[in-house]
Structure 1
Amino acid sequence: MAAQKDDFLISYLTLRRLIGYLGVLLPFLCWSVNALFNHINLLNNPLFVDESQSAVYIAGADLKSSISRFYYTTAGPLFIGVMTTVAIFLFCYKGYREREEDRFSWLTDKLVTTFAACCALGIVVFPTGSTDRITDNLYIFVTSELVGKIHLGFAAAFFFSMALMSIINFRRQPGKQLLKNVEGRLYLVCGWGIIVCLLLLLIKMVFADDKVWLWGHFVYILEVFMLLFFGISWLVKGKNIVTGFLLRKIDAVTSN
């Protein structure tokens, strides 16, 4: 019986780590894969594509203004695959059962992760829109303004649910108190970091032109930060070796 419980625990920790790894790596994988394919001109290589059945592919910028823009690029299948995998992992994640004595007991792990999984799928099903012509578009369409707004809604809801997961669910312990040690404070930093980034994105959308901010990569940079916050919190919860080592070091420094 103890062995079965250990296997269950290990598989749960592995699931958390995988979610964290995918979150941290997604923006850098999309960028590097798109840059690699553009550099070697893969989609114009007759060994890879049938030139008689294909249009000439015109490579655009390696780095896009947002991670969602990679949907239309050579890294599109990777973006779709990672988001779908994250959705499946979140659907499979059950977490702790509802306990009446817990603070915010109704906000169960399963409720938050299922909602986040639906949002992750929504991000893929409703691709981002674009006010500019996408010259390196692998597809024959760009979504409408309405679908683009639906995409933004799913993306915001996904990140907000992950912020709640860090601020409340990952800090939950028996009773009304939430975790307040070094690990608990790290979850708070990750959760509130996501919310601050969301607010900055909202301010940018309302008051400024993205092309003026950080050479047109303002959205991408904030998305990278949000995914790092998201990924780190899941890696810490999954007892990752590196994050565990860093937590012990931080605890040692702050306790002296």
Structure 2
Amino acid sequence: MLLGIPFSELVITLFSLLLCGVIAGFLAGLLGVGGGIIFVPCFYILFTVFFHIDPNIAIVVATGTSLLCMIPTSISAARSQYKKGNTDLAVIKAWSVFMLLGVLVGIMVSKFFGGAWLTLLFGSIMILNSLNTIFRAKAKPAFESLPGKFGQGIIAFCIACFSSMLGIGGGTLTVPVLNACSVEPHKSIGTSSAVSLFVCVPGAILMLLTNTTPEHAPIGTFGLVNVLAAACVIPVSYLCAPLGVSVGKGIKPVTLKRIFAVALFIISARMLYSGLSYYL
């Protein structure tokens, strides 16, 4: 026994966290999704299955931990994408303030109304997102260009608000939005990597410093962030992000969209099932 956990379960837990970091880092670089679509369900399953934490607490701590883990991953992916010329700085400048406001609102909502319903929200939104991407992989963009500054501000606010609530980096929602507005897929993915930084950095700080640690939270939890899980995941995810960027550079845009959609659907379905099981 170590930290109240049987040694065999501890080994499985550590292996799962390291594998989570490898997959999340690679996908962050490959798809520009920040890693949150991997982190949130992995942490949620870890906290509920191995630590037997109440799902209402587990999902909120998983969200906060995911935001912290995405900081180095997003930095690594964003730097690699910028070096390859895949970042649209004009979009980042136009969206920055609205994203920060969106994060603040999203964190406040999850703080006061957080719980198992976030699992259902995560699963539902991500499944719709993945299905849209799968069936529209070859479809023409819905719009010829991005809207004006006001329209982009609303888009940025909504992306940041939902992303911070769900513990994802923003890329999961940013990529399909930019693609729908005729932004080239590799440029969409590169830009979304930078967008993730505007979500995960302020989001993680707020989750860490402005929340009281829940009773019966997993060991190593401060505020709504489990630093022990983050410490296991961050190093490997940071190292694997540039590998994803390099691999993605040689993949056709349509194939890249489909990889993104399939990964998203599988993970979202698992989260939706978990949320429904809690209420039923």
Query: Which structure has the greater CA radius of gyration?
Result: 1
Larger fraction in helix? 2
TM-score (norm 1): 0.32
Q: Which has the higher contact order (CA 8 A, sep 6+)?
A: 2
TM-score (norm 2): 0.31
